[in-house]
């Protein structure tokens, strides 16, 4: 039985790799032909140095060069540097870069400034450029975030993740723990679906850690008191599960933020969300006050938290990479806990349950090698290159990638993270479509940090933030 | 005059060195641990050593390129700034130039500028204004050597001025009387006497250039990236690679130590008329 | 050759470089500071708005708070560095075994890039997983939490700065001390002066230019501190360590508030110049002119 099933799997694997190889060889002619016009061209890209980007730099770029003779240099740098360099280049019209990484949250700012080439149009105008293996229909719905008002694609998706609820299966399935939990709370220990349950479990495990002397706490918290990561956790992961969407700002109502003007940022739900989260922060590991997404992931990987909200790009290595994680094989994946009504909102498209995160490569208007760059963008968008890239960076942007056996094997190790991304991904959402993303965040963040340190009362702090938001949007000219 | 016990001094310095070295020891500890081990109750002693970070760093060819860029840029800049600073201070100290004290003060104002906002004009100048045909200063080593002058040249001038003022004018005047050319006076009379100051200036300008981050991060892309900008590649949303960052940092100490030991001797051996006993 | 001509010739390369890379960018910043300019505002162009950025600054509580903590940081850090640095430099004037070795060790912190220093100190001071809070807790029962306590974060940044930059002061003062002529000291000893008298009346006046030059450098560098603090606390907790360098960084990098950020920079630069000018006029210039 098991022999046969193994055989079956390997036959499928063989067949898949065989088709990949033959497809590649028949396409090789296209890439060689297309590259002829651009010999001697070197493309320059800038991106954040993450595993998916490093895969582009170390694997896809050399492969592309082999096929086409077009050299691709990718500059990888830190998150804020990457933004700054891309913006300076496009703003000043220098034309250093032929490809820039666009995180989902900044696409609206770039579109509003017409920084990017309409890739759909570019291929329409130059049919000879179009690769036979490239098709916009291959992408998952995540690609829709990078479409302009005309429906055309302005960025080629390269990574997509959801911020999920991770929990420790070894603890949740431990009979001793289960019994103690049942005795204390009167219910069975299972992943939380509501905030009340989540809090209860968190409190239970923090107490358990205290009683048993281990370094264990009930939850993670991305609550840095001087870094935007905390602002993001609250507005993109916590507030939505309380029914406060799009940062509590109503774009259709003159960008109102205060309740008085029709916004939600200082609504009762927002205030409840803040207090819920601050309580979690207090029972999370002490390093949480200095934690960005990085430290949250490492805290979880070190086995210091029983549950937590963790960015999907980290979920994979936490669950599978023994050299980096102490909880390999002990990680469960679930939907984030939420208030009643939020799920209905998410299903109807009115709201969302958490953060859908990711990015694309865009082609700056100022690029001097648009056609050659378009070839490379198509190259990295092919179904054929996706599976290994998914293994290297736990990111999926094409529908076909889900069916790849290698990806399915990893999915099993991750307890269904990819399945959740495919089936429930639509319930999550990226950052709201605001061209003033970083500007509003930075304007309100100082108040937010003071809420975290306790210098400002949470209710009053949210009132202040809502007012500050409206003031800032007025200054920027968005709020009339 | 009281002679202090030399061994008491040694004890004093052992204690001071312990305080100085502890963060560096901790850097080493970080470099030989997997990231996940950093997130636990810390142990002051190393129990096991994990070399993977060093292996990764040694196998990384781009880092070697960054190291080379850093060495060339900081050495070039240190030599340039120390030389120009020396000549400037000689002029300020020996000539009766009108407004020279204002010029002297003006030089230092160039170092006072808060860096973040000056990145934009620097970027525009280096990419679009200071260029000859296709050659722009941005992303070149020579460009960075010149840009670093904005903070290192004022520093060199300010640390060398007391040194040059302290060298008695009578010495070079005597040489002039003997018929020496200005160049010979500078090289053969003033330079040897200024050696301690020059050595310190050379070391410190080198260090400032070696450690600079913001300007290099903005003004270099592919060809002139320095080690400090290379470090920023390890601070990512999917995990700060503390271990690798620390391993690189340990490597950056090696060339810096070599430069230091080469130059440091001159700090004390330069002058013969003596140390002050306090 | 007219001697002054040679003087100007020696000055020329320095002035040319500082003009091209110092003065020209400075004028650009001044020009921008008179505009409302955020490339991601509804109107992304530069709009000339006279001095309204500067007017706004005076009422900007956040900027004033930032300036306040910066001055406190600069004061404590630079003063400690000067005192410790001088004492250590004096200690190096004596002869003892292993002097060169200890001097090399003492200069090691200087070699480390600010972003590395910030990273090490962050890892050493993070609550619960850092070695320093852990030791303080087990030795004194003191809970150091730089993510929550403004005072703890402030002190940590000061201590970090002292650790990093005291060697610079020591090195500069060693260079000054070894260059001192021996005669006045011998004369003073013959006249029976005590240690304190020698320090106040001979050593200090003679190395004063070096001290002031060093203090200046440290003062203006501390005023511009960015990388280390950004790595260590990110300017937090709250705004406790949002020093002007960090504040400007956050205004112009993520917030792309170029116009207002430029105005802040001009003011900070102006304040630094004024402070340094007063020190300079009061302390150095008289001596230089006296000497001719």
Distance CA C126, CA A446 (A): 21
Nearest to C253 among B116, B165, B200 (CB): B116
Distance CA B79, CA A4 (A): 72
Question: Which residues in chain B are closer than 8 Å to C229, comparing Cβ atoms?
Answer: none
Q: What angle do CA B270, B276, B277 make, to 5 degrees?
A: 135
Q: Report whether C41 contacts A477 (CB < 8 A).
A: yes
CA distances from C89 to C85, C106, C168, C178 (A): 6, 11, 10, 10
Residue B249: which pLDDT band, with cuts at 50, 70 and 90? confident
Instruction: Please name each of the domains of chain A with its CATH number.
Output: 17-161+357-427 (3.40.190.10), 164-354+433-476 (3.40.190.10)
Nearest to A225 among C129, C148, C250 (CB): C148
User: Is A112 near chain C, with CB under 8 Å?
Assistant: yes
In this complex, do B270 and C178 lie within 8 Å of one another by their Cβ atoms? yes
Q: Which chains touch A (3 or more CB pairs under 8 A)?
A: B, C
Give the closest-approach CA distance of C87 to chain B in angstroms: 11
Distance CA A411, CA A392 (A): 13
Query: What pLDDT is recorded for position A14?
Result: 45
Query: What pLDDT is recorded for position A25?
Result: 55
Report the percent of chain C where pLDDT is more than 70: 96
Q: Of C197, A164, C221, which Cα lies nearest the Cα of B154? A: C221
Q: What is the mean pLDDT of chain B?
A: 86
Query: What pLDDT is recorded for position B237?
Result: 60
Q: Of B120, B191, B127, which Cα lies nearest the Cα of B160? A: B191
pLDDT tens digits, residue range B208-226? 999 899 999 999 998 999 9
Query: What pLDDT is recorded for position B230?
Result: 86
In this complex, do A450 and C239 lie within 8 Å of one another by their Cβ atoms? yes
Q: What is the mean pLDDT of chain A?
A: 91
pLDDT tens digits, residue range A303-340? 999 999 999 888 888 998 888 899 999 999 999 999 99
Question: Which chain B residue is nearest to residue C12, measuring alpha carbons?
Answer: B88
Residue C1: which pLDDT band, with cuts at 50, 70 and 90? very low
User: From its phi and psi, is residue B132 left (phi > 0), alpha (psi between -120 and 50) or beta?
Assistant: beta
* Phi and psi torsions of C67, nearest 5°: -65, -40
Query: What pLDDT is recorded for position B64?
Result: 87
Residue C53 pLDDT exceeds 90: yes
Residue A6: which pLDDT band, with cuts at 50, 70 and 90? very low
Query: What pLDDT is recorded for position A432?
Result: 94
Residue A7: which pLDDT band, with cuts at 50, 70 and 90? very low
Question: The tokens of B216 are what?
Answer: 């290099």
Residue B236: which pLDDT band, with cuts at 50, 70 and 90? low
Q: Which chains touch B (3 or more CB pairs under 8 A)?
A: A, C
Query: What pLDDT is recorded for position A337?
Result: 97
What SS3 state is found at A355?
strand
Report the percent of chain B where pLDDT is more than 90: 36
Query: What pLDDT is recorded for position B85?
Result: 96
pLDDT tens digits, residue range A333-365? 999 999 999 999 999 999 999 999 899 999 999
Query: What pLDDT is recorded for position C284?
Result: 64
User: From its phi and psi, is residue C36 left (phi > 0), alpha (psi between -120 and 50) or beta?
Assistant: beta
CA distances from B270 to C172, C175, C176, C179 (A): 14, 10, 12, 9
Give the closest-approach CA distance of A445 to chain C in angstroms: 9
Query: What pLDDT is recorded for position C118?
Result: 92
Q: What is the mean pLDDT of chain C?
A: 89
In this complex, do B237 and A311 lie within 8 Å of one another by their Cβ atoms? yes
Give the closest-approach CA distance of A268 to chain C in angstroms: 24
Q: Of A103, A100, A45, which Cα lies nearest the Cα of A74? A: A45
Query: What pLDDT is recorded for position C182?
Result: 78
Question: Which chain B residue is nearest to residue A327, measuring alpha carbons?
Answer: B36
Fold for the domain defined by C60-291 = MetI-like fold (1.10.3720)
In this complex, do C242 and A225 lie within 8 Å of one another by their Cβ atoms? no
User: Is A231 near chain C, with CB under 8 Å?
Assistant: no
pLDDT tens digits, residue range A157-178? 999 999 999 999 999 999 999 9
Instruction: Please name each of the domains of chain B with its CATH number.
Output: 1-50 (no CATH), 61-269 (1.10.3720.10)
* Mean pLDDT on A60-86: 91
Distance CA B75, CA B260 (A): 12
Q: Where are the beta strands (DSSP E) in A272-428?
A: 307-310, 331-334, 356-362
Query: What pLDDT is recorded for position B239?
Result: 62
Residues of chain C that touch chain A, judged by Cβ-Cβ distance less than 8 Å = 38-44, 62, 122, 126-129, 145-148, 150, 233-242, 250-251, 253-257
Give the DSSP letter of residue A246. G
Residue A249 pLDDT exceeds 50: yes
pLDDT tens digits, residue range C3-46? 788 999 999 999 999 999 999 999 999 999 999 999 999 999 99
pLDDT tens digits, residue range C159-207? 999 999 999 999 889 888 887 777 888 888 888 888 888 888 888 888 8
Question: Which residues in chain A are closer than 8 Å to B229, comparing Cβ atoms?
Answer: 77, 81
Q: Of C68, B125, C286, B236, which Cα lies nearest the Cα of A393? A: B236
Query: What pLDDT is recorded for position B225?
Result: 92
B residues 117..156 contacting A (CB < 8 A): 120, 123-124, 127-128, 138-139
Identify the helix (H) or strand (E) that includes residue B54.
helix B52-58
Question: Which residues in chain B are closer than 8 Å to A299, comparing Cβ atoms?
Answer: 39
Distance CA A309, CA A220 (A): 7
pLDDT tens digits, residue range A102-122? 999 999 999 999 999 999 999
Q: What is the complex's ipTM, to 2 decimals?
A: 0.90
Mean pLDDT lowest among A59-73, A291-305, B34-48, C49-63: B34-48
Q: What angle do CA A452, A305, A409 make, to 5 degrees?
A: 125
Query: What pLDDT is recorded for position A12?
Result: 46
Residue A101: which pLDDT band, with cuts at 50, 70 and 90? very high
User: Is A40 near chain C, with CB under 8 Å?
Assistant: no
Query: What pLDDT is recorded for position C287?
Result: 54
Give the closest-approach CA distance of A84 to chain C in angstroms: 7
Q: Report whether A352 contacts A425 (CB < 8 A).
A: no
Pairing of strands A307-310, A331-334: unpaired
Q: Report whether A62 contacts A70 (CB < 8 A).
A: no
Question: Which residues in chain C are closer than 8 Å to B154, comparing Cβ atoms?
Answer: 18
Q: Where are the domains of chain C?
A: 60-291
pLDDT tens digits, residue range A423-449? 999 999 999 999 999 999 999 999 999
Work out the burial of residue B95: count CB atoms within 10 Å of its CB; fewer than 13 is exposed, 13-18 middle, 19 or more buried. Answer: middle
Nearest to C127 among A80, A290, A436 (CB): A290
CA distances from C141 to A285, B23, C138, C218 (A): 18, 22, 6, 34
pLDDT tens digits, residue range B180-191? 888 888 988 899
pLDDT tens digits, residue range C91-120? 988 888 888 888 888 888 988 889 889 989
Residue B277 pLDDT exceeds 60: no
């Amino acid at each position: 039985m098991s022999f046969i099933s193994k055989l079956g799997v390997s036959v499928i694997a063989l067949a898949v790799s065989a088709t990949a190889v033959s497809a590649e060889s028949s396409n090789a002619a296209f890439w060689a032909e297309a590259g002829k016009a651009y010999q001697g061209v070197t493309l320059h890209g800038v991106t954040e140095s993450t595993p998916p980007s490093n895969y582009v730099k170390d694997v896809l770029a050399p492969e592309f060069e082999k096929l086409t003779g077009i050299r691709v240099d990718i500059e990888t740098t830190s998150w804020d540097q990457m933004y700054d360099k891309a913006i300076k280049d496009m703003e000043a019209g220098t034309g250093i870069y032929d490809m820039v990484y666009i995180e989902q949250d900044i696409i609206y700012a770039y579109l509003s400034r017409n920084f990017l080439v309409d890739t759909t149009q570019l291929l329409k105008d130059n049919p000879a450029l179009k690769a036979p293996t490239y098709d916009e229909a291959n992408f998952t719905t995540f690609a829709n975030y990078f479409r302009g008002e005309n429906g055309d694609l302005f960025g080629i998706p390269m990574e997509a993740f959801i911020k999920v609820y991770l929990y420790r299966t070894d603890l949740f399935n431990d009979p001793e723990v289960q019994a103690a939990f049942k005795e204390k709370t009167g219910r069975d220990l299972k992943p939380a679906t509501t905030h009340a349950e989540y809090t209860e479990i968190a409190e239970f495990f923090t107490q358990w850690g205290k009683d048993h002397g281990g370094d264990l706490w009930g939850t993670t918290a991305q609550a840095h008191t001087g870094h935007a990561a905390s602002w993001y956790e609250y507005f993109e992961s916590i507030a939505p599960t309380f029914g406060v969407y799009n940062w509590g700002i109503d774009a259709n109502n003159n960008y109102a933020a205060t309740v008085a003007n029709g916004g939600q940022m200082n609504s009762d739900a927002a205030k409840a969300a803040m207090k819920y989260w601050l309580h979690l922060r207090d029972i999370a590991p002490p390093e949480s006050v200095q934690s960005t997404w990085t430290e949250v992931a490492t805290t979880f990987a070190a086995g210091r938290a029983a549950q937590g909200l963790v960015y999907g790009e980290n979920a994979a290595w936490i669950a599978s990479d023994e050299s980096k994680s102490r909880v390999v094989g002990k990680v469960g994946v679930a939907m984030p806990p939420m208030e009643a009504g939020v799920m209905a909102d998410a299903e109807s498209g009115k709201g969302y349950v958490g953060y859908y995160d990711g990015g694309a490569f865009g082609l700056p208007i100022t690029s001097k090698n648009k056609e050659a760059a378009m070839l490379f963008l198509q190259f990295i968008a092919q179904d054929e290159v996706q599976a290994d890239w998914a293994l290297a960076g736990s990111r999926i942007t094409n529908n076909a990638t889900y069916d790849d056996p290698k990806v399915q094997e990893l999915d099993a190790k991750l307890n269904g993270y990819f399945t959740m991304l495919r089936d429930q991904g639509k319930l999550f959402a990226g950052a709201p479509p605001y061209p003033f993303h970083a500007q509003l965040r930075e304007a309100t963040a100082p108040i937010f940090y003071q809420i975290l340190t306790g210098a400002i009362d949470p209710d009053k702090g949210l009132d202040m933030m809502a007012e500050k938001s409206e003031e800032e949007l007025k200054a920027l000219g968005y709020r009339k | 005059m009281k002679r202090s016990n030399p061994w008491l001094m040694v004890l004093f310095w052992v204690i001071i060195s312990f305080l100085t070295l502890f963060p560096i020891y901790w850097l080493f500890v970080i470099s030989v641990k997997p990231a996940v081990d950093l997130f636990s109750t810390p142990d002051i002693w190393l129990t096991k050593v994990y070399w993977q970070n060093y292996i990764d760093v040694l196998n990384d060819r781009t880092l070697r390129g960054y190291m080379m860029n850093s060495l060339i840029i900081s050495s070039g800049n240190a030599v340039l700034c120390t030389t120009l600073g020396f000549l400037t201070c000689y002029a300020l100290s020996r000539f009766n130039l009108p407004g020279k004290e204002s010029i002297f003060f003006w030089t230092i104002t160039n170092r006072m500028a808060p860096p973040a906002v000056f990145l934009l004009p620097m970027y525009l100048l280096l990419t679009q204004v200071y260029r000859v045909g296709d050659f722009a200063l941005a992303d070149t080593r020579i460009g960075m050597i010149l840009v670093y002058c904005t903070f290192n040249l004022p520093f060199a001038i300010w640390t060398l001025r007391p040194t040059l003022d302290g060298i008695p004018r009578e010495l070079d005047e005597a040489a002039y009387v003997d018929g020496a050319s200005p160049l010979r006076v500078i090289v053969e009379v003033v330079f040897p006497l200024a050696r301690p100051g020059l050595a310190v200036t050379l070391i410190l300008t080198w260090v400032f250039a070696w450690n600079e981050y913001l300007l290099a991060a903005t003004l270099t892309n592919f060809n002139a990236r320095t080690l400090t900008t290379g470090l920023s590649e390890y601070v990512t949303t999917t995990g700060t690679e503390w271990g690798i960052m620390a391993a690189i940092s340990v490597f950056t100490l090696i060339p810096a130590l070599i430069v230091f030991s080469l130059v440091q001797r001159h700090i004390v051996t330069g002058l013969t008329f003596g140390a002050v006993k306090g | 050759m007219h001697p002054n001509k040679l003087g100007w010739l020696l000055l020329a390369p320095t002035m040319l470089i500082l003009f091209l890379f110092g003065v020209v960018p400075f004028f650009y910043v001044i020009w921008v500071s008179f505009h409302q300019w955020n490339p991601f505002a509804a109107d992304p162009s530069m709009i000339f708005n006279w001095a309204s950025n500067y007017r706004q600054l005076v009422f900007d509580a956040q900027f004033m708070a930032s300036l306040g903590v910066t001055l406190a940081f600069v004061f404590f850090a630079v003063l400690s560095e000067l005192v410790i640095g001088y004492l250590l430099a004096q200690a190096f004037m004596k002869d003892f075994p292993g002097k060169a070795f200890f001097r090399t060790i003492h200069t090691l912190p200087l070699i480390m890039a600010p972003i590395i220093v910030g990273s090490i100190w962050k890892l050493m001071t993070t609550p619960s997983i850092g070695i320093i809070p852990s030791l303080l807790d087990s030795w004194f029962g003191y809970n150091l939490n730089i993510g929550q306590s403004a005072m703890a974060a402030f002190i940590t940044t000061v201590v970090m700065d002292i650790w990093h930059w005291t060697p610079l002061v020591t090195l500069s003062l060693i260079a000054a001390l070894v260059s001192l002529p021996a005669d006045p000291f011998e004369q003073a000893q013959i006249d029976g002066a005590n240690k304190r008298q020698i320090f106040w009346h001979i050593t200090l006046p003679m190395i004063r230019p070096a001290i002031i030059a060093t203090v200046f450098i440290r003062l203006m560098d501390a005023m511009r501190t960015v990388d280390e603090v950004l790595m260590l606390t990110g300017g937090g907790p709250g705004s406790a360590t949002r020093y002007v360098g960090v504040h400007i960084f956050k205004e112009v990098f993520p917030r792309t508030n170029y116009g207002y950020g430029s105005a802040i920079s001009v003011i900070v630069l102006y304040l630094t110049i004024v402070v340094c000018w007063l020190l300079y006029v009061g302390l150095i210039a008289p001596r230089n002119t006296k000497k001719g």
